[in-house]
Amino acid sequence: MGVMRATGLMLTLTGRVVNEVASFVVFTILDLLDVVLCVIYKVIDFVVEAEWKPCYCSSAKEAITSSGKILVSEQGESKIVCLSSSKLQLEDISDTLYLRSSLVSDISKTTVKELKRLKIEGTAIRTCEKVKNGSVRSTFTINSTIIEMLQGKIGGQQSHPIPRWSDCDCKTCTSWSSSCKETLFVQADGAEDNASEDVLFIHGFISSSAFWTETVFPNFSESTKSKYRLLAIDLLGFGRSPKPTDSLYTLREHVEMIERSVLEPYRVKNFHIVAHSLGCILALALAVKYPGAVKSLTLLAPPYFPVPKGEHGAQFVLRKVAPRRVWPLIAFGASIACWYEHISRTVCLVICKNHRLWEFMTKQITRNRIRTFLLEGFFCHTHNAAWHTLHNIICGSASKMDGYLDAVDDMINCVVTVFHGSDDELLPLECSYAVRSKIPRANIKVIEKKDHITIVVGRQKAFARELEEIWKKSSG
């Protein structure tokens, strides 16, 4: 028995060492490749679109808009404040967008020095100086890409409906641009005018409303559909919703779009929320903003990583979600999406821009034996939307999650249920237990032998019954 145990430990250690070495080699190559792709895309962007498009490889620089409005950022924080004569607007920008150390930079003295300079200059530095007319002007330095993207919005320009050359321009992906009103795509089902309560369904990262409408919606009982109005949305930048090229896809933007597209036009008063993965962060933000209206919170695989004292929240979550390892494969894919702006853009160029071809091939190979709603949800987004949502929501919300969970525990009297698959390799089961440590009344349901997707897909009938019980309990 002792020999077998020692052999098992040796094999585990060997596998770990092999994974570390392979990861070092692979990600060193990817670091170099991303630099090369940066130059290639800048040249192509200039040739095709007649301008140099900003990216997060850009250096920091000082900028104040010519409109007289001022940008400010606090020392050591990843927040940008937009000041005008009458409004203070807070944008949450994750510094993981432009501060990501690489294996190449770690072993290069020159690069290390440059990163230190960027960290000093790129960190927002507020200084106030009196101007001639007696007013106060704030100056700062911050990553130039953020400045360039925000300047157009601050100047009052409209968002750009025209897709970039590397984005898909099919009818499905651009249908929103023909509308005079930019609102999210909403799929409504169930009760209409006589609905006693509403249920808002929020999908996860690179998914769509079809994650719900093709699975649990058809499996709700007739009595449920006669009582509840079911509202599933495509988040900003995904599915059939708007995909503005100049958006930073911040938490505030996502929440405001949900308000503008669902809560206001549908006159939602009391509602339940069902959210998956990234959608759980938006669900908590909505619950905190509308504490008296939320009847129940059902969270599936919430991405909550308690940040240790002394750690930088966004950077800590980035390392947790994307550990820069070649194995398991889902960690490798997450690392590509999180760490490499230009490689991930190339993936979107190959997959998302040509999604009609991939969907057609899938249908031919499977002979239509399976539905393709998961693929369609995965394909229908832009790189700009995915990149910014990933960093500004999953990483950037790290400093807010504790406050949201505390607020739900202390001030919001609603039923909280958390589902998590025991085989989820993307977000570990510890995330849900961490939620319960903040909200002791939360009911944790571990679904055995299910992963991040099959927690719903494949068990939609059972999940529909579980949701009905939750809603019944919260209304009782």
Q: Which long-range contacts (CB under 8 A, 24 or more apart) does 425-431 make?
A: 425/328, 425/330, 425/331, 425/451, 425/452, 426/277, 426/301, 426/330, 426/334, 426/451, 426/452, 427/277, 427/301, 427/302, 427/303, 427/321, 427/452, 431/301, 431/302, 431/303, 431/304, 431/305
Q: What is the pLDDT of residue 119?
A: 52
pLDDT at 45 over 70: yes
| DSSP string of 295-314, one letter each residue | EEEEEES----PPPTTS-HH
How many residues belong to the chain?
476
282-335 pLDDT, tens digit each: 999 999 999 999 999 999 999 999 999 999 999 999 999 999 999 989 899 999
User: Which amino acid is located at 128 in the chain?
Assistant: C
- Report the pLDDT averaged over residues 370-392: 89
- Describe the crossing of helices 279-289 and 251-258 by its angle, rounded to 10 degrees: 70
**pLDDT grade, residue 109 (50/70/90)?**
very low
- Report the pLDDT averaged over residues 42-63: 76
Phi, psi of 23 (to 5 degrees): -65, -40
pLDDT at 122 over 60: no
**pLDDT grade, residue 147 (50/70/90)?**
low
| Cβ-based neighbours of 176, under 8 Å, separated by 6 or more | 161, 182, 185, 240, 241, 242, 243
**pLDDT grade, residue 68 (50/70/90)?**
very low
Catalytic one of 23, 73, 167, 203? 203
pLDDT at 72 over 60: no
**How many CB atoms within 10 Å of residue 70?**
18
pLDDT at 13 over 70: yes
Catalytic one of 208, 277, 296, 432? 277
**pLDDT grade, residue 141 (50/70/90)?**
very low
Q: What is the pLDDT of residue 116?
A: 52
Active-site annotation holds for 203: yes
Q: What is the pLDDT of residue 475?
A: 74
More confident residue, 330 or 51: 330
Bridging pattern class, strands 294-300 and 127-130: unpaired
- Of the ranges 79-83, 225-229, 377-381, 441-445, which one carries the lowest mean pLDDT score? 79-83
| Residues 80, 71: Cα–Cα separation, whole Å | 7
More confident residue, 72 or 330: 330
**pLDDT grade, residue 137 (50/70/90)?**
very low
| Residues 436, 284: Cα–Cα separation, whole Å | 14
pTM: 0.85
123-133 pLDDT, tens digit each: 433 433 333 34
Q: What is the pLDDT of residue 258?
A: 98
More confident residue, 91 or 190: 190
Q: What is the pLDDT of residue 245?
A: 87
**pLDDT grade, residue 205 (50/70/90)?**
very high
Among residues 476, 474, 410, the alpha carbon closest in space to that of 199 is found at 474
- Report the pLDDT averaged over residues 197-223: 96
**242-275 CB burial, b ≥16 within 10 A, e <16:** bbbbebbbbbebbbebbeebbbeebebeebbbbb
Token digits of residue 104: 């190449």
- Report the pLDDT averaged over residues 373-383: 88
Mean pLDDT for all residues in the chain: 83
Q: What is the pLDDT of residue 92?
A: 74
- Report the pLDDT averaged over residues 170-187: 85
**Residues 103 and 112: beta-carbon distance below 8 Å:** no
Q: What is the pLDDT of residue 139?
A: 39
Element spanning 147, H or E: helix 144-154
DSSP 409: H
Active-site annotation holds for 452: yes
- Of the ranges 251-255, 410-414, 440-444, which one carries the lowest mean pLDDT score? 410-414
Token digits of residue 413: 């009297």
**pLDDT grade, residue 408 (50/70/90)?**
very high
- Of the ranges 62-71, 163-172, 302-311, 429-438, which one carries the lowest mean pLDDT score? 62-71
Catalytic one of 276, 383, 420, 452? 452
pLDDT at 43 over 60: yes
pLDDT at 11 over 70: yes
- Report the pLDDT averaged over residues 199-210: 96
Q: What is the pLDDT of residue 393?
A: 96
- Report the pLDDT averaged over residues 30-44: 95
* Preceding peptide of 328 cis, ω within 30°: yes
| Residues 149, 246: Cα–Cα separation, whole Å | 6
pLDDT at 370 over 60: yes
Token digits of residue 356: 């009609």
Active-site annotation holds for 277: yes
Q: How far is residue 102 from each of residues 26, 106, 143, 323, measured CA to CA in Å?
A: 12, 6, 18, 12
pLDDT at 142 over 80: no
Among residues 208, 216, 215, the alpha carbon closest in space to that of 234 is found at 208
Q: What is the pLDDT of residue 434?
A: 98
